[in-house]
Amino acid sequence: MQKKAVVVHSGGMDSSLCLALAVKEFSPNDVLSLSFTYGQRHSLELNRAQEISKHFNVDHVELDLSCLGQITESALIGNKQKIEHKNGESPNTLVVGRNGLMARLAGIHAHSLKANCIYMGVMELEAANSGYRDCSRDYMDLIQTALRLDFANNQFEIRTPLVKMTKLDSMELGLTLGVIEYLLETTITCYEGKEKEGCLICPACKLRNEGLKSFSLRHPKVPYSYRDKILNNN
């Protein structure tokens, strides 16, 4: 099997937008959706990644990273810890080194498939608002440099098309691509694994739903099933 791009795909909005971008540039047959199992707090996102991949007619693979739970702690690994973000500290939902590890493994797999790039749905606003140190372009540039050395290929890319966007910007991109309504109904953002509007209170839901509220006010004719809940949520 050969591919032209590998998309690290969580089943969330951001990585699914990256999948849509990759399919638009290359073609479904030339793209691989790659998800990781690492004992995450809920498994629904993995089911959604598989479902969304089928929608885009893209091959989907899952890799097992369950060893993460043996070497680090996070409220996103298992569901025993209460989600917290204390002032002046990193959130306990940070999985140390996760994005770098996933990027390296996805890169190795892409290299084996003769692909010259991977996509990561990281956004720097996650670093600014959620304390995720591995969501910046500077961080990905470091990993990209290492991968280029590994592969002896200075053309290999870690593509991060959303990295400078806000959540509102990313939804505008989804509208332009013609996929926003589908992704609003199918993707999972909530740390608790709740569908659609989510739990409304976890940091991921708050950040996403603030952007979605602005998007909904700007585009009153874009339909989705929980629109009223978003507009009425304070």
In three-state secondary structure terms, 107 is helix
41 and 152 Cβ atoms separated by less than 8 Å: no
Position 225 pLDDT exceeds 90: yes
pLDDT digits (tens, 9 = 90+) for 28-38: 999 999 999 98
Q: How far apart, in Å, do the first and last CA atoms of the chain sit?
A: 49
What local confidence, expressed as pLDDT, does residue 86 receive? 66
What local confidence, expressed as pLDDT, does residue 88 receive? 64
Extents of the domains making up the chain: 5-166
What local confidence, expressed as pLDDT, does residue 193 receive? 87
Poorest-confidence range of 11-20, 26-35, 85-94, 212-221? 85-94
Q: Which of 127-136, 145-154, 188-197 has the highest mean pLDDT?
A: 145-154
Distance CA 32, CA 60 (A): 6
5-166 adopts what CATH topology?
Rossmann fold (3.40.50)
Distance CA 37, CA 193 (A): 15
Closest C-alpha among 221, 208, 111, 109 to residue 162: 208
195 and 180 Cβ atoms separated by less than 8 Å: no
Position 46 pLDDT exceeds 60: yes
Q: How far apart, in Å, are the Cα atoms of 29 and each of 26, 142, 183?
A: 8, 29, 21
Q: Which helix (H) or strand (E) holds 66?
A: none
pLDDT digits (tens, 9 = 90+) for 188-210: 999 888 999 999 988 889 999 99
What local confidence, expressed as pLDDT, does residue 73 receive? 79
Distance CA 91, CA 21 (A): 30
